[in-house]
Structure 1
Amino acid sequence: MNEERIQESKITAIEQQKKNRSRYNIYINGEYSFAVHEDILVKYRLIKGREMDPEEMKEVLEAEERNKAMQYGLRYLSFRPRTITEVRDYLTKKGFTKEDIEQVIDSFIEKKYLDDQIYAKQWVEERKRLKPRGRYLMKAELTQRGVGDDEANLAIEHLSSQEEKEMIERWMEKKISGKKFDSLYELKRKLVPFLQRKGFPLDTIQEVVNSVGPDYLKSED
């Protein structure tokens, strides 16, 4: 759109899109010019017959781009909780400017859509229930998702030694149920490296494994 056309900008028609009913096509001087979300349509009172100067047009287009970034962000959050870093990286890949991305993130934080501390706590609870992990691996997973050290440490500091023992026992039952070993040494050689890869502390692993009774050992008969 050249400068002369912008200076003579007049909305001559507004058309709701058929495939996305929340978006509207705006026609300037009889020709399609751009599309906006209904939030922008209402906020800037875009109605047929309205004349717009270059500054108003620029403001509307910038607001539309920020709104688009927000809609992408909301859709991304709708599938599952995300960290601030995950949302930032996602919107960056979509090509939005740093300024628009940070405004969206600030808005999401203010509205409590994003909270890394809550995310970290929920992550730990979910891991405890569904995919048992030790504190070391849990922290590594949180760090990979962009959670800061303070938030990650706070989330795992309430993970007790007893809870880790119970998770180790669940893994042991799954790993060696129905199997028999010639000795406790053989059982340890099978279990200890496996449990370490799950992020559990070695001293806790050894304490649990050493408590294994004769049920997992072959009879001497």
Structure 2
Amino acid sequence: MSDSTSVGNDEEKRASDAELLEILRRTKEEGIPSLTTAQIDDVGGYDYSNQGLNERLMKLHEEELIGHQKASERHIWWFPDQGTTQEVDLPSLEELIDYEELEPERFSQAKAEEIAEELLPDYGSSNWWQRLYSFGSAMFYFGVVLFALSFALLIVEWVASTSPLVGMLLVVGTTAIMGCVPFIAAGVLGQEAAIRGHVSEEPFEGENLIPYLFRRIYRNIR
């Protein structure tokens, strides 16, 4: 009884794998080189979570049946060039999966990135929230460097009041460290909100805040 149940589960799994492979194969024949996890879920009409479907697809990738590349926090999948290009039903595709001589094409990193750039227009670029987070991080490291430098000078001078330079570095370094917190927090929260669709990835039309405000003020004055 347990053996028959195990065989049934294996057959069900293989059929589901075949459906996923069929989606990638058919979309490739229609001129779409690769799909994201969410797109595969939409095409198949599944009710998977992203994590669940990613795990299923990753198993196919580990079996070297499909290609995979992660870009901009998205998983991209594609069907390799080798294999049949004819219309086949799912049982025939299952036979194709077990075909010993099937060796999918191995894509180079450059080709995978080329596919990502074609599928994701924003691949390799950063939005306003990510730039805000980067600015806050740079401000933090700048403050740490100044604070460490002033602390080293303080040890040499023994007392900060005896050296205006040490006092100035302490003030600037501490201000930079404390001031970076709202930038980093806003960057993290804004990026999360943008992913969820609550705010735009470029709330200031692709510009930084200060140039955007000056441009709007100038436009209103004219």
Q: What TM-score, normalized to structure 1?
A: 0.28
> Max radius of gyration: which structure?
1
More strand by share: 1
Q: Which has the higher contact order (CA 8 A, sep 6+)?
A: 2
Normalised by the length of structure 2, the TM-score is: 0.28
Higher helix proportion? 2
